[in-house]
A and B are shown apart, each in its own frame.
Chain A
Amino acid sequence: MLMIKINTMRKQIILLSIFFSCIFLCKDLVAQTKKVTVSGTVTDAGTKETMVGVSVATGKPLKVLTQTDSKGHYSVSVDDGASLVFSYISYGTKTVKLNPGQTSLNVSIKEDNKTMEEVVIRGYQKRTREVTTGSSFIVSGKEVQDVPVSNVEQLLQGKVAGLNIQLNTGAPGLRGTVNIRGLSTISTTGSGNETFLQPTSPLYVIDGVPMDADKASEFGFQQQGPGVSPISLIPQEDIASIEVLKDATATALYGSRGAYGVILIQTVRGNSEIPRIRYTGNFYMNAIPKLRNILGGTNERDIKLSQILNYGRFDDLYKISNTPFLADSLNPYYNNSTDWQGVFYQNTYNQTHNIQLDGGDSKFSYKTNLSYFSDKGIIKNTGFDRYSLNMNMDYKPTTRISFFGSIRGNVGKIKKANGVGLLQTGVATDGQKSSLLPGPSFFQATSSVLSALQTNSDAGPKNLNTYIEGRYELIPGLNITSAASYDYNVDTEDTFTPAAANSQFAKIYSYYGYQSQLYNRNNISYVKSFEEKHNLFFNLFSEMYVKKGQGSTTRLERSPNDQFQGPLGYDGYFSRGGGILTTFYDQNQISFAAAFTYDFQKKYILDITYRIDGTSNNGNKDPYAKNPSVGLKWNFNKENWLKDLKWLSYGDIRLTGGKNIFPVGTLVDIYGKYGPKGFYNNNPRVGIDYEYIPNPLLRPKNVTQFNLGFDVGLFDGKLDVIFDTYYKKVSNELFTSFLSNTLAFQKYTSNDAALSNYGYELSLSSRPLSKNSKFNWTVSVNGAINNDVLTQLPAEYNGQFIEFDFGSGYEQHLAKRVGRNSLANFLYVNQGVYDSTSDVPIDPVTGLRYRNNNSGNVLNSFQGGDARFFDANGDYILDSRDLQVVGNTQPVLTGGMSNTISYTFPSGAAMSFNIYATYTAKRSILNNALADRLRLLRDPFGIARINNIDVLGANPLAVVPVNDLNMWTGPGYTNAKFANVYDYAHEGYVNNYRYPQTLWMETGSYFKINQVTLSYSFAKKMARRIGLTNIRTFFSASNIVTFSAYSGPNPEGVTAIGRDGSGGYPVPRVYNLGFNVEF
């Protein structure tokens, strides 16, 4: 019996191959007897416009016959009385059975807005959302157009509940922070304002190819090389849809790399029988946001002099005459009013152009996207340019075989001035210079100004990505797919610093790096239904990666002159040489995954997935990480007792649970690092490196997630609600403990830290108006509450670990305390200002006033006008024992809202208005910019330490107006918030304006209008008159206004742990005029 079956199948295959050849050779001969020719027009049910490229199909299995032409017209020859099926992407399908003899048929199809019928992708397989259990959200490509951005990620901000994006840098080509469902790590690097949270970006899968967005920043933000995120290389016009996967069932199939969530990006596919050319052009202006106020010229001198006269000691009066910039007001060198910030910032005008060409029919389609993007940064000598050419093609000779191939080529160019891109600390330092000094010129300016403005850098990634996928349906329901991709990325950087900008010696730096990824995926899936009730779906696949990367640098110091950058010699003593950086990697990964779905009448659904990942990072002792998940779903609207409810379009409850394992640690952590250590007895010594003790028991990080979700669609698309609540546990987090010196090694990398996130996500979208109305109004609102709790630390820390920061000068320590939010600040608590000296408490034992530090010096005592610091241990001495754990550096509530109104004129022209906003709430940020600003007043003499001698007037600093602050002005001023900032002499003893205090800790809540877009589509008639198919013009403005109680310029422009340093790159305001033209 089985043999016969196989034999028949074999025959079938042979027959089929003959059949395919027939199709190619004699397409026209397929037509049989009793045919009728049916023709008609397809229109959009909503806009009543004719539709181009709608597929017309018939038969079983469905066979596409044609597509509508540019006038929406079609004509097909079919059997008399056949059924015609009309379909178009993102529109519903419409099936019409022809009456005998009918030859004309006009149909209208409507846009499909039902969330439930969206196609989602799970483990590289398309499924309908209805039968999947995981939590995900789809953003269509349309929503990320209209504002030109270098990195499309930033347009996702506030669009997906639970996807927290903070645009903390305006640097062109770089990315902000992206987290799905809260914190996934507690490890930080760097210090002071440059303390960064280890990036835990989601995995990006672009057209089926996984890609690592953290690649540019995996070694922190101050790494070498151009540092452009690979996401920045995808033109936004080329994006068809973006799906964000959140819970374990959705992400488990992506394995270890899906532990932090997954974002799937589909690019545009060819979809028009008649070749189409679409052009998009944007012309936009980047405007400088609000900068800090500075007092200029004589105002500055007056303030400094009055500080000295009022508060200085006797000796200080004498010092005035030794400080030329204070005393010698007639000297033209000290008699200026220079706007130093203006030296660095500029408004810029930019443009982008994108041409998209697509065509083809259901058998063969193609697309080409050619794009130019340019963004000159608002800080001079910075910017990002991108040139890209993306092509793909689909070939489906029959319904059983299909091929998809794509090639993407991108060239990015980034200019970073002398900063590393994200940080422009040189600009920040120079922006604080005294206005009395003359402005920069080649001979007079300090070298830091010149190095910011004249450093000549040529950097950027060059990326080539190829992908091919073939699919074959072996027997009905059983599909085999094989896909391979190769991605090659070259990063180069050549920086030349002229002599004047670098202590009189020119300098050359060059970087070369490459990363390559070979990727292969083989897939078998099988669908089977029994009695139309029981549906089974199996999906098995294997994945393989071969990843390599290497970077090398060369630094030549003191090259001979400014005229040539060439290799004309250098100073071997100062040059640092070069070589392969530690960013080298050579990594192989192999994975197997299986998914099984069973549903009963699409009512009750069970999803089980399992994935095994083996990576060379973990060595070969136990390289496999296992990721299981289970999901359940109940589509309750399909129950008989709810079937008849007209107002319920769909409704379901989802429950999922699963685990993702993220391999942490490297071969070095597990096996230790060995290195040469010289010679002994004339033999080479090779021994272990004693910094980290190898931990062969190191376990991968575990992300366990439980999700309960609820979806409901009401009143035929008038209201869609998605609600999710989740508990996400991150355990086995790496934590470094220090070891006893009897153990030789200094540090131990353990898995003994853990944290949890729990939260709620809600998305509402509504189209309140009737579908036939000329107005179309869409409102969507989403929000997510995420709380994180630190649940475990290595036992020896007794539940609290303070990450001390003494090196940076900021001393703003991070507290990690079990039982509260994972990353808190550890600061002195500021409780206002002492009204008068008699308010300062006196130690009843010693009779001394409350004082700063453990010093007998009476000058260290607090007095009226000083900050009232909380004496936590009650010993009348303010010292490190009074530090308290305060605040939460991570936002608790994030979300966004969007409102679109469009109106279609009778002529067919349409107008649309969109306003879109995001918000973040419940977060504490440290306003170090304000601290820096007030601390400028600590030193009216501009003292700099040169060769261990304090030189008066060597580093004069700007003065900022402080009269907008609630500052103590004298006894009787009881409600002051800020201590007397002018009393610089006393400040030196009591340190009122120290960085580690809650005075700088402010709320980071904000409501930001991200974007306003007004667009107008011309009527088709109008367009055709000038030979075009479509014209749309739009005006947009982004980053318009931020409402916040925060006293600094931008509560969003802070680091991932909430530090607002002055060194950041401000996010510009963008005004844009754009056009879409279709030929």
Chain B
Amino acid sequence: MKKYIICLFIIVSASQYGCKKFLDITPIDKLTGNNFYQTKEDMESNITDMYGELFDKYTKTSFAGATGEFRSGEVIPAAEGGAGRSASGLIGGHRRQTPNPQGSTDKQNVPLTTVNDRLLLVALGGGDWSGYNFSDLTRWNEYYRVIQSANLLISKVEDGIPALTAEESKRYIAEAKFIRCFCYFQMVRLYGDVVYYTAAFQKDPLPREDMVSVINKCIADLKDFRNDLPTTFTDPSQRGVRASKGAAIGLLMNMNMWNAGFDIANRNSYYQETAALGKEIMDSKAFRLLPINEWAKVAKGRSEESLFELFRTLNYNQDLNDPFAQANAYSPFGDAFIHFPYKQPEFTHRYSFSVFSSEYMQKLYPVDDASDLRLTIWFVAPFDQNASTFQLRKFALNTFADANNPNLDLNPDNTYLIMRYPDAILLRAEAAANLGDDVTAIECLNEVRGRAGARKYGESGNDIPLKDAIFLERSKELMGEGSRYFDLVRTRRVLSKEWTDNPLTADKFNRRGWTWPIDPAALFNNPKMSLNTYWIGSGL
């Protein structure tokens, strides 16, 4: 009797064998999370999506231009560019425009106007000023998308993915951490305090966290994992595009230097950290400075000089209806400073949309150092303030011209450089200078200058102080790559009219006048959220 029952049990249970498998279904109409993260290809396409998301965000506006250069006030829009292009001046707190030269190629005088850093708010508004789409800078949603994606990927890999080797798992974790830290760093520089989390599927609202603490957490998050990233890539299409150990070091150096500017009590440890990281990257010999006459290669992207970039090329275009479609014609920094023949057609591009003020250009390139090849390779009529002659062709040397279609209006075929080897070298120089190690600092500074054929620091008697020289070298070398305003902020040079045309008072600085306003939509569904107070109301 009992045996019968037992037998029956066995039969019944055997008939239902493999339950777990039976209940696992792959829908054909959608890809659900339980069927994703299974293969290496899944990981690759998901990581690619995170970079792609960052690329999309970066190209929604003239990101490097607005955050790095326009904001400090030296960029003057051309009168011919109209109201739309004048927004780049408003970002810098002024309403100056170069007059229409009407054929004259002489140096022009630009009338001085008062400076008001809150003109920024006008540029963020819609209407005439919406061409650059600067208001996108007030929205942080996309960074959090990437952060959620990265958190999710890390938690999945930590749970274990059988298809991956241990080494691959470590690499993906490190790469996701790099991406996550990069997002937080970008946001900290734009908004100051931000919401920080690393848990997958974070759903509870959080308050903003002090930015020094966010950056410290990021440093801790990334630091030990940088060694899991590849030093170099066998596939040259990934060089600079996918996170390498060098990219992680570059980001760590930037984050340390940021905190050194705000966490005054601990600044020396940040400098030491930066100097050590700088030594590490330079000793690794994984990167090199290309000769200045090969600059076009650097601007094209994926060069040995690139630590990290958001890669763009006209060759990779997915819009079949318009093979020349661009992410956003306003987003490349170079676009605003070039005209024919670097931009076509000729009849609409006889002038640059903006110029740099001649005072600023002269500060960067003193008359007594005419040997600097950057001045000739990167510029045309650099000191003229004349929209018909001035050109910054740093990002123009890969111009795409179609003989059959002379009216094709395209930006030059360049990548979006985010971090470059000279950035790391100069940060090391800056850290060393702050630590009193002038020898290393000068050595680093001169490495960058040497590549451009510029006069070496210390060779002549009229050198400006070392730290200022390093600062100006960064402004010069990294022009248009989105770092100048942040350097002004973290070194507090933004407080002085000597270094910027759009200075902040100490009070404004302390009330975070250097941040960007945050879109009030951040307040929705989050009772713990607060906006940047400087940008609420009249600012007084």
Contact = CB atoms under 8 A, between A and B. Distances in A.
A614 B19 contact: yes
A688 B205 contact: no
A679 interface: yes
A770 to B, nearest CB: 51
Contacts of B318: 678-679
Given A667-B33, A679-B52, A742 B27 contact: no
Contact of B24 (A589, A620, A695): A620
Nearest to A582: B29
B3 A748 contact: no
Interface in B18-75: 19-20, 22-34, 36, 42, 44-46, 48-53, 55
B15 A745 contact: no
B12 A524 contact: yes
Interface residues of B, number: 66
B439 interface: no
B376 interface: no
B8 interface: yes
Contacts of B502: none
B206 interface: yes
A5 B238 CA distance: 77
Given A5-B1, A670-B33, A742-B526, A686 B49 contact: yes
Given A586-B28, A616-B25, A682-B316, A741 B141 contact: yes
Contacts of B30: 582, 668, 673, 675
Given A684-B48, A739-B203, A744-B147, A616 B23 contact: yes
Interface string B200-222: 01110110000000000000000
A742 B205 contact: yes
B396 to A, nearest CB: 23
Given A590-B23, A681-B316, A742 B52 contact: no
A1039 B12 CA distance: 51
B225 interface: no
Nearest to A591: B16
A180 to B, nearest CB: 28
A324 interface: no
B83 interface: no
Contacts of B53: 677, 687
Given A524-B8, A623-B23, A686-B36, A542 B48 contact: no
A541 to B, nearest CB: 9
Interface in A620-635: 620-621, 623
Given A677-B49, A680-B48, A741-B522, A522 B12 contact: yes
A995 to B, nearest CB: 28
B524 interface: yes
Contacts of B23: 588-590, 614-616, 618, 620, 623
A338 B262 CA distance: 81
B147 to A, nearest CB: 7
A517 to B, nearest CB: 15
Interface stretch (A380-388, A474-482, A640-648): A474-482
B521 interface: yes
Contacts of B33: 667, 670-674, 688, 694
A742 B529 contact: yes
Contact of A584 (B28, B144, B202): B28
A244 interface: no
A688 B144 CA distance: 13
B525 A672 contact: no
B483 interface: no
Nearest to B11: A522
A678 B318 CA distance: 8
A540 B8 CA distance: 11
Interface in A789-843: 796
A452 interface: no
Nearest to A666: B32
B24 A686 contact: no
B469 to A, nearest CB: 37
Contacts of B195: 740, 742
A845 interface: no
B352 to A, nearest CB: 30
Contact of B46 (A586, A686, A696): A686
Contacts of B8: 480, 524
A325 B29 CA distance: 53
A470 interface: no
B205 A681 contact: no
B206 A742 contact: yes
A295 interface: no
Contacts of B28: 580, 584, 586
Interface string A1-34: 0100110000000000000000000000000000
Contacts of A592: 16
Contacts of B511: none
B356 interface: no
**In this complex, which of B26, B194, B205, B311 has the most chain A Cβ atoms within 10 angstroms of its Cβ?**
B205
Given A524-B8, A739-B525, A680 B49 contact: yes
A108 to B, nearest CB: 43
A619, A677, A681, A737: most-surrounded residue (chain B CB, <10 A): A681
A1056 to B, nearest CB: 28
Nearest to B528: A740
A481 to B, nearest CB: 12
Interface residues of A, number: 67
A313 interface: no
A745 B197 CA distance: 14
B202 A619 contact: no
Nearest to B51: A680
B497 interface: no
Nearest to A580: B29
Contacts of B24: 616, 619-620
B504 to A, nearest CB: 26
A590 B16 contact: yes
Contacts of B27: 584-586, 667
B354 interface: no
Interface in B172-194: 194
Contacts of A696: 201
Interface in A672-723: 672-675, 677-688, 690, 693-696
A740 B525 contact: yes
A587 interface: yes
A12 to B, nearest CB: 12
A670 B48 CA distance: 24
Contacts of A620: 20, 23-24, 34
B55 A680 contact: yes
B446 interface: no
A1078 B499 CA distance: 107
B4 interface: yes
Contact of A742 (B25, B48, B50, B140): B140
A185 B93 CA distance: 56
A680 B525 contact: no
A590 B19 contact: yes
B100 to A, nearest CB: 38
Interface of A: 2, 5-6, 474-475, 478, 480, 522, 524, 540, 542, 544, 580, 582, 584-590, 592, 614-616, 618-621, 623, 666-668, 670-675, 677-688, 690, 693-696, 737-745, 748, 796
Interface of B: 1-5, 8, 12, 15-16, 19-20, 22-34, 36, 42, 44-46, 48-53, 55, 139-141, 144-145, 147-149, 152, 194-195, 201-203, 205-206, 237-238, 241, 311, 316, 318, 519, 521-522, 524-527, 529
Given A667-B25, A671-B36, A742-B522, 20 more contacts: A475-B1, A544-B16, A582-B30, A586-B25, A586-B28, A587-B25, A590-B23, A666-B32, A673-B33, A679-B316, A679-B318, A680-B55, A681-B51, A686-B36, A686-B49, A687-B53, A695-B203, A740-B195, A741-B522, A744-B144
7 closest residue pairs by CB, A with B: A671-B33, A680-B52, A687-B49, A740-B526, A685-B49, A686-B45, A667-B32
7 contacts: A674-B46, A678-B318, A680-B52, A680-B311, A693-B201, A738-B525, A740-B525
